[in-house]
């Protein structure tokens, strides 16, 4: 039997990684789309060879690794290039996600997809949506501290992401992460118990 597939999303800095870390501590299988997006472009992977053919060998360094900053620079101002890149990477991430779902024998699993609502790549795979939520100002200050970015740089990223209201509207469950760490972790524990009950029902 297929596990209940619970998608987890939220804006940058909302606390997705923090929540996923807790879920893993609880023994939950967490499939992380960001992790997979790095795996599919590791040295020797077919996607990396395709990227090199499309964007030129300058996007790969001497050790055969992707030069992310260089690739970001190329696709930043070129929507066609960005679409080509996504066309190379996304199907391979989705293939790995579906493989991991098929291999999972737990009652439920969590699929962490930062841009879940911005694409509908997983709408046929998921059963529920959990949103990690905090105020945009909180996202901004946490990301500035974590990634050493300016407020303007964080705002530019946030503008490419779904609005808070839309995310909340799509959520089956919300983890409210405005307060202290000590307030968010028990919410994750309660959510885990609830999802186990739902999955077993």
**Can you tell me the distance from the alpha carbon of 148 to that of 143, in angstroms, rounded to the nearest whole number?**
7
Nearest CA to 55 out of 72, 43, 40, 37 is that of 72
- Min. distance of Cβ 52 from ligand ADP in angstroms? 29
- Min. distance of Cβ 148 from ligand ADP in angstroms? 11
Strands of 4-9's sheet, edge to edge?
Answer: 29-32, 108-112, 4-9, 128-133, 173-176
Burial of 70 (0-12, 13-18, 19+ CB in 10 A): middle
Judged by CB, which is closer to ligand ADP: 18, or 191?
18
- Min. distance of Cβ 164 from ligand ADP in angstroms? 13
Q: Which residues bind ligand ADP (CB under 6 A)?
A: 10, 12-18, 142, 146, 177, 180-181, 184
Judged by CB, which is closer to ligand ADP: 14, or 116?
14
Judged by CB, which is closer to ligand ADP: 104, or 149?
149
- Min. distance of Cβ 108 from ligand ADP in angstroms? 20
């Amino acid at each position: 039997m297929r596990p209940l597939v619970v998608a987890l999303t939220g804006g940058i800095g909302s606390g997705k990684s923090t929540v996923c870390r807790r879920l893993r501590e609880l023994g939950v299988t967490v499939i992380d789309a960001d992790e997979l997006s790095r795996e599919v472009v590791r040295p020797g992977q077919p996607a990396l060879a395709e990227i090199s053919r499309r964007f030129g060998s300058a996007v790969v360094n001497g050790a055969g690794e992707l030069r992310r900053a260089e690739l970001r620079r190329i696709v930043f101002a070129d929507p066609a290039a960005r679409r080509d890149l996504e066309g190379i990477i996304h199907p391979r991430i989705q293939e790995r996600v579906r493989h991991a779902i098929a291999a999972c024998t737990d009652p439920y699993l969590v699929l962490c997809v930062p841009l879940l609502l911005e694409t509908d790549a997983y709408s046929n795979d998921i059963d529920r949506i959990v949103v990690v939520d905090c105020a945009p100002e909180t996202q901004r200050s946490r990301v500035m501290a974590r990634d050493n970015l300016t407020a303007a740089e964080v705002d530019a990223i946030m503008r490419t992401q779904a609005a808070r209201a839309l995310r909340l509207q799509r959520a089956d469950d919300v983890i409210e992460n405005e307060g202290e760490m000590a307030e968010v972790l028990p919410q994750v524990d309660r959510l885990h118990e609830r999802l186990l009950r739902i999955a077993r029902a």
